[in-house]
Amino acid sequence: MTSPSSSSPPSTSRPPRAGRQLADLGPVEQLRAGRLVPRLSLLLVGLFLYGASMALVVRSVLGLIPWDVLHVGLQQHVPLSFGTVVVAVSVLVLLLWVPLRQKPGLGTLANAFLIGPSADLVLAVLPQTEDLGWRVVLLVAGIVLNGVATGMYIGSQFGPGPRDGLMTGLARVSGRSIRLVRTLLEVTVVAVGWLLGGVVGVGTVLYALAIGPLAHVFLPLFTVDLPPRDRAT
């Protein structure tokens, strides 16, 4: 990084747009931050697409998203649909927020209760296929769509989903890095899900490798600018 110099004209120095940064807002502040129509639209579309992306990966039968390994594993032992299990696990994860003193936002609650029904809806209209080429397409499309949906729902500035909030809460309380906590958390849910009968495969590995870079690309694209004066309050 070069140091500022008096010989450099002001116009050549362009600081990053602060409005593109994710704001650290409480639940009430999230609603008062403004631009509710575009933010709510982004949140709801993003959550629908998130559930749809999960369904695409499930239908690929080439390995599941880490948390979905747990969801499918649990589904083998209860008379519930995939989406219902997703909602139930979300509620249980939210209960773990209490000792961590995490504050749920509108996006947190919407995530908990909407992505499961969205996944069930897409699974109902998307048939199973034995064609390997089509299954690969479903897997890749599902992972990319998941990255897009992640950028949309987080970029709406309504707070993290239950699982992301658990990760950040554990990192804060333990003093460990987000990377370490996320890795340990996802390894744990994959292991438990696999033992319960969930499917682990190339899709699980591909998702783990791709979701970080995809979120890095799409999150800045979809993050809604908030007025600085609102975010500073």
Q: What is the mean pLDDT of each run of 10 residues along the chain (233 residues)?
A: 40 42 74 85 96 97 95 96 97 92 88 96 95 96 95 88 87 84 89 94 93 88 76 42
Residue 122 falls inside a structural domain: yes
- CA dist 184 → 59, 68, 178, 180, 199 (Å): 27, 16, 10, 6, 19
pLDDT, position 18: 42
pLDDT, position 11: 40
Instruction: Identify whether the C-beta of residue 147 lies closer than 8 Å to the C-beta of residue 217.
Output: yes
Instruction: Identify whether the C-beta of residue 25 lies closer than 8 Å to the C-beta of residue 105.
Output: yes
- CA dist 226 → 45, 89, 131, 221, 233 (Å): 19, 32, 46, 14, 12
Residue 233 falls inside a structural domain: no
State pTM to two decimals. 0.84
Residue 91 falls inside a structural domain: yes
Residue 194 falls inside a structural domain: yes
Residue 11 falls inside a structural domain: no
Domain of 119, in residue numbers: 36-220
How many structural domains are present in the chain? Answer: 1
Residue 3 falls inside a structural domain: no
d(CA 20, CA 31): 18
d(CA 42, CA 36): 10
Given the structure tokens 């849910």, which residue do they identify? 189
Instruction: Identify whether the C-beta of residue 87 lies closer than 8 Å to the C-beta of residue 113.
Output: yes
